[in-house]
């Protein structure tokens, strides 16, 4: 270990944190394979430091290495915090809280995945961009040149922003593992999948033109496009073609989500969904992450999660991130279970996930 002297005192000089990279179907960190279990949380950019710190504390207790947090509040403020109240206007009320989340993650040794925009209307989303520019419908987000330019301006601001806690530009901070183009993008007006593929190609190339250090992912749900298939998840009706998206040259890995309750599927159906994506990721030659999953029936949840996570381990999936880890509020009470998928620590579900995380960390 190298040391240096400051005012006569000798201090160890530790290696700077590393960026996550990929090699084939694996993530790489510090020259070694990086398998991980992680989670999601959507309130880090508008809630208190106390609430953020509590989630990070629970993550460490659960052996979780990665958390996906939102990088957007477009239009209307939440709890007096907003990031982009109008196109090209970037507000400190929200960005300073994202600064803190990144700073705290770095302190805790946690990696971050950060999407730039929401497909859905929560926190503004794509429809907010459509309203700003008077465009025609949700899917104009992907084709209207004014909207695409506004999105690029936002991305450029994010990448070049200097964190007020660390003094480091976002694009230079290894605490961030991945930039995601969007949360769950869909283009229902285009069953061919071409519009989303072309948009993702353009925007991932744009990000890489500014920032070659970080990974880039689409952030989609993993829907396939198979001609003639009867099932909406596989026939392209959402305008998503997962294979083509994941294969894009500036997309570093594939993402997929799993919500049987919302999709009219069974928990057992999810087993094949997992194995299909890991198999197809191997065909493409890139890592694949189950970056959101949830199952509402708490009497069966532990069994279901164990079966899903065991499959990821068995088939060498690169990572898993459950929805959603929440902690306490400012008054000490638990954050409400708004969507029915909340995981808190300690709990039996947290134990199942923690044991999975430990095994992933040991790979």
Where does the chain show beta strands of DSSP type E?
A: 3-6, 9-12, 21-23, 26-29, 32-33, 36-41, 66-69, 111-115, 176-180, 215-217, 254-258, 288-293, 319-322
Choose, from 180, 238, 291, 292, the residue flagged as catalytic. 292
Active site (annotated) includes residue 184: yes
Q: Which two tokens stand for residue 270?
A: 């999810």
Going by C-alpha positions, the residue among 267, 273, 344 that lies closest to residue 306 is 267
**What is the secondary structure of 93-112 as a DSSP string?**
HHHHHHHHHHHHHHHHT-EE
H-only helix segments in 161-250? 194-210, 242-247
Contacts of 289 (CB under 8 A, 6+ apart): 217, 253, 254, 255, 256, 317, 318, 319, 320, 321
Do the Cβ atoms of 220 and 255 come closer than 8 Å? yes
Choose, from 180, 184, 238, 291, the residue flagged as catalytic. 184
Active site (annotated) includes residue 292: yes
346 upstream amide cis, omega within 30 of 0: yes
Do the Cβ atoms of 223 and 235 come closer than 8 Å? no
Do the Cβ atoms of 243 and 222 come closer than 8 Å? no
DSSP H/E element including 92? helix 92-108
Residues marked as catalytic: 184, 292
């Amino acid at each position: 270990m190298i040391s240096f002297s400051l005012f006569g005192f000798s201090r160890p000089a530790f290696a700077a944190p590393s960026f996550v990279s990929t090699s084939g179907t694996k993530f790489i960190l510090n020259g070694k394979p990086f398998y991980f279990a992680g989670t999601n949380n959507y309130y880090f950019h508008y809630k208190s430091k106390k609430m953020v710190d509590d989630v990070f504390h629970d993550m460490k207790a659960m052996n979780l290495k990665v958390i996906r947090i939102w990088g957007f509040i477009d239009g209307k403020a939440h709890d007096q915090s907003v990031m982009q109240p109008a196109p090209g206007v970037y507000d400190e009320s929200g960005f300073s809280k994202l600064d803190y989340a990144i700073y705290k993650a770095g302190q805790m040794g946690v990696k971050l995945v950060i999407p730039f925009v929401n497909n859905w209307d929560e926190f503004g989303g794509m429809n907010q961009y459509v309203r700003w520019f008077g465009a025609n419908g949700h899917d104009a987000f992907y084709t209207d040149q004014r909207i695409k330019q506004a999105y690029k301006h936002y991305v450029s601001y994010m990448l070049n922003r200097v964190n007020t806690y660390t003094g480091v530009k976002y694009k230079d901070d290894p605490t961030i593992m991945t930039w995601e183009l969007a949360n769950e993008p869909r283009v229902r007006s285009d069953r061919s999948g071409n519009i989303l593929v072309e948009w993702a190609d353009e925007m991932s190339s744009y990000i890489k033109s500014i920032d070659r250090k970080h990974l880039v992912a689409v952030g989609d749900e993993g829907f396939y496009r198979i001609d003639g298939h009867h099932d909406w998840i596989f026939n392209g009706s959402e305008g998503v073609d997962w294979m083509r998206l994941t294969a894009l040259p500036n997309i570093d890995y594939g993402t997929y989500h799993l919500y049987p309750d919302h999709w009219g599927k069974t928990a057992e159906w999810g087993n094949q969904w997992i194995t299909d994506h890991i198999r197809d990721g191997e065909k493409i030659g890139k890592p694949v992450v189950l970056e959101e999953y949830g199952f509402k029936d708490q009497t069966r949840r532990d069994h279901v999660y164990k079966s899903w996570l065991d499959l990821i381990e068995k088939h060498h999936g690169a990572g898993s991130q459950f929805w959603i880890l929440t902690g306490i509020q400012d008054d000490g009470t638990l954050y409400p279970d708004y969507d029915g998928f909340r995981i808190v620590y300690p709990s039996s579900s947290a134990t199942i996930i923690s044991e999975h995380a430990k095994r992933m960390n040991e790979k």
